[in-house]
Structure 1
Amino acid sequence: MTVVTPPPPTRPAAPKVRVPFWDNARFLCVTLVVIGHGIQRLIAESDNALIVYLFIYAFHMPAFAIISGYFSRPGAPNNRQMTKVITDILVPYVIMETIWTFVQFVVEGKQQFNITQPSWTLWFLLALGIFRLILPYLALLKFPLLIAVIASVGVGYFGNVDSTFSLSRAIGILPFFVLGWKANEWGIVDRWRRVADGGGWWVRGVAVAVLLGWLAVVAGNIQVWRAIDLRFWFFYDDSYSGLGEEEWWAGLVRLGLIALAVVLTAAFFVLIPRGETWITDFGTSTMYVYLLHSFILYPLRETGVISDERTSAVWLLSMILACIAISIALSSPLVRRVFRPIIEPKPRWLFVKQKEGPMRETRTDPTGSRRSR
């Protein structure tokens, strides 16, 4: 009689473990976005507000793009991934742009619905869509990061590449997205963890020195930065001629700002807590904060509550604290439950039935804030 040996029992797949560092990073980045928008109306008359504004804008959106790139996959997209570009980016964009058009009609009397010109914060949604579409092609090339940098610097020389569908801005910050993707491939975060576990206090000391050094440069030359409108360079939006710079070396300025943003972002990431903190859970709701905070700030700006007439340091500090509170409030489970249909819509009726299941629930957003590595 032949004895059949049963196969060894298969071990269940290990559950994915969230990395608190990334949730902490996402929440801090989106909070910097809210602060930047909250104090924007103060910078015309307040040097203190402009100092904070320039300090933040030098790296906060590059940092966001790096995080999004880190959680992106370069392979050829399947049906489900292509579907998610529509459900996670394009559909929310159309919904939010429609809402913005209605709000601006009620408040300002504007009667224009232009889907090609994203309102306020919506440009980043389109940029993420562009990144998702071109990453598989960039991944085929030998030097994708170098190509992204050349594209970012080069696009500034073409005045006909503008904010239509956020194209100029998407190309401008493309190097940061590609850097995030490559950082994942290179294992940079894992290397940093090993350094930190072995006692990385000296790295943190350098990071603090870098950020304080940038703050000192901004504060010590604030009138120069005001005179040359440095803040517009951090938008990665206008052409060099649109920024008032016609010289051939204008691209070198953008190249320098890209390098500055990378250094500042690295220093910022080094100082972010790696373990669970009281802000960690908030990091799963960054897209809610990003898309909804403008609806809180907009009426405050339009009614004059936030205006350049309020220039005191106390008022600036109050606005910063209020923006932090807004970020926390918009990260709450209640907000996610109420606004999920417009931030994370699931329009199953829009798609034909496919074998891969176009609407499988993955609970992620375009920045990767629901993913677990």
Structure 2
Amino acid sequence: MTIPPDTASAAVARPRERVPFWDNARFACIVLVVLGHAVQRLIYDSDVALALYLLVYAFHMPAFALISGYFSKAGTPGRRQMARVITDIVVPYFIFETLWTVTKWLVEGSANPNPTQPSWTLWFLLALGIFRLVLPYLALLRWPLLWAAVVSIGVGYLPNVDSTLSLSRTLGLLFFFTLGWWLRERDVVARLGLLRHRPWWVPASAVAVLVAAGVVAWLFVEQWREMDLRAWLFYDESYAALGGTAWWAGAVRLALIAVALLLSTAFFALLPRSTRWWTHFGQYTMYVYLLHSFVLYPFRESGILRGLDPTWFWLPVVVVAAVLIALGLATKPVRRVFRPLVEPRWPWLFADPQLAAREGHRSDPTGSRRPAQEPPPRAG
């Protein structure tokens, strides 16, 4: 962000205090991402695993998009911000798309190099790039949230908008990203004091909401399996492709958006507002996001996660493993090894190499900013 000259010295003198809650929220969301992918192979043989999977997928990516939007700007980007779209999104996307192509060729014996079709988790990188391109135009409109909702719901009626460049899923989740930006733009969190005071009934209500959602997912699991609710929660196919041929099919997505907002609110209400020993890991969620799929790939493709019995034992094991994977991939040794891939700069790519320089801090596509010199993890 370009700082006006008359406020530059004040900004340097009074650096913005980091709010632990947002790092806690980032890391909690990335744990859910890993958990959802880890559990996926169990859902074909276990109703309990499917219920957990549906609960997670009902809100985890909408919550991640909301956080990313909260830390996004809708103003005209400066040259350095534009360069960061290249270094933080475009270059890592092509690096990891190439790695996935090579991996599939080595393991599966065949590969179809096609950068317009994101491999597995890489769709979110493209989504973040498209969100950033669209947001300044939405911000010009009188009712940006309404228009974002119209796009998110309306895109499902267009069968020619598909997974190419992850456009269908990106537009499907656009409302959540825009909502995050809107909340920050209107300073809603600070004005309502949502991070200052939390009455006892707030976490109690949040637990009740999440438990109720889990119970509904479990009690009606056969109905959800029959209607393929899992596919609806991906936001990446047209309603017709999902079997929703009636004119009111968009109402299903509207209901899913409402559920995602309710569950995301409940989830955020349970997260700690103060620093924990794992809080600083929330600054490195992109490492977990881009790397965890390579860790899970052998287990998913080998079939080792199919037919595990008893579920009451193996499902908790997979859940714990997912948490440990997320923690491990955010640690400093992993970051040191994979930083050239996850956070490439490539100054040779730019006419002005200084655009790729790290000036005082690093940032990732989700909006997390941190010092260039990483502080040691805080205890407590």
Match of 2:44 in 1: 44
Aligned alpha-carbon RMSD (Å): 1.6
Aligned length: 360
Give yes or no for contact 2:45–2:306 (8 Å, CA) kept in 1.
no
2:266: which partner in 1?
267
Which is greater in Rg? Answer: 1
Separation (CA, whole Å) in 1 of partners of 2:257 and 2:339: 35
Are the counterparts in 2 of residues 38 and 319 from structure 1 also a CA contact under 8 Å? yes
Note if contact 2:189-2:195 (Cα within 8 Å) is conserved in structure 1.
no
Inter-partner Cα distance in structure 1 for 2:114 and 2:195: 49
CA–CA distance in 2 between the matches of 1:331 and 1:95?
19
1:161 match: secondary structure: coil
1:359 pairs, out of 356, 360, 373, with 356
Output the amino acid matched with 1:338: V
Q: Deviations over 1:311-346 (max 9, x none)?
A: 622111100000100000001000110000000000
TM-score scaled by length of structure 1 = 0.93
* 1:189-212 C-alpha deviation (Å, 9 max, x unpaired): 2245x3564552122222121111
Is structure 2 residue 21 aligned with structure 1 residue 24? no
- Whether the 8 Å contact between 1:45 and 1:311 is mirrored in structure 2 is no
Runs of 4+ in 1 over 6 A off after TM superposition: none
User: Which structure 1 residue ranges, 5 or more long, are not aligned?
Assistant: 1-9
Using the alignment, how far apart are the partners of 2:252 and 2:79 within structure 1?
41
Q: Could you say which residue in structure 2 is the equivalent of 1:7?
A: none
- Structure 1 residue 308: Cα displacement: 4.0
* 1:250-272 deviations in Å (ceiling 9; x for gaps): 10000110011011101111111
In structure 2, do the counterparts of structure 1 residues 164 and 134 end up closer, same or farther at CA, with 3 Å as the change threshold?
A: same
Change (3 A) 1:311 1:106: farther
How far did 1:161 drift? 0.3
Q: Secondary structure at the match of 1:235?
A: coil
The code of the aligned residue for 1:276 comes to T
Which fold has the larger relative contact order, with Cα–Cα distance below 8 Å and residues 6 or more apart in sequence?
A: 1
Task: State whether residues 46 and 311 of structure 1, in contact with CA within 8 Å, keep that contact through their aligned partners in structure 2.
Answer: no
Residue 3 of structure 1 is matched in structure 2 by: none
SS in 2 for 1:74: coil
Counting only pairs closer than 5 Å after superposition, residues 52-63 of structure 1 correspond to structure 2 as 52-63=52-63
Q: Where do residues 144-293 of structure 1 align in structure 2 (5 Å cutoff)?
A: 144-192=144-192, 194=193, 197-293=196-292
Partners of 1:286 and 1:199 lie apart in 2 by 26
Structure 1 residue 188: Cα displacement: 2.5
**Structure 2 residue 72 is matched with structure 1 residue 72:** yes
Deviation sequence 1:260-302 (CA, Å, 0-9, x none) = 1011101111111000012201111100000000000001112
SS of corresponding position for 1:363: strand
What residue in structure 2 maps to residue 123 of structure 1?
123
Query: 1:195 and 1:367, CA in 2 relative to 1: closer, same or farther beyond 3 A?
Result: closer
> For residue 114 of structure 2, what is the amino acid of its counterpart?
N
2:103 is aligned with 1:106: no
| CA distance 1:39–1:195, shift in 2 (3 Å) | closer
Amino acid at match of 2:242: L
Question: Within 1, Cα distance between the matches of 2:310 and 2:99?
Answer: 32
Cα distance per residue 1:7-49 (max 9 Å; x no partner): xxx8761133211101100110000000000010110110010
Name the aligned partner's letter for residue 209 of structure 1: A
Per the TM alignment, residue 75 of structure 1 is displaced from its structure 2 partner at its CA by 0.2
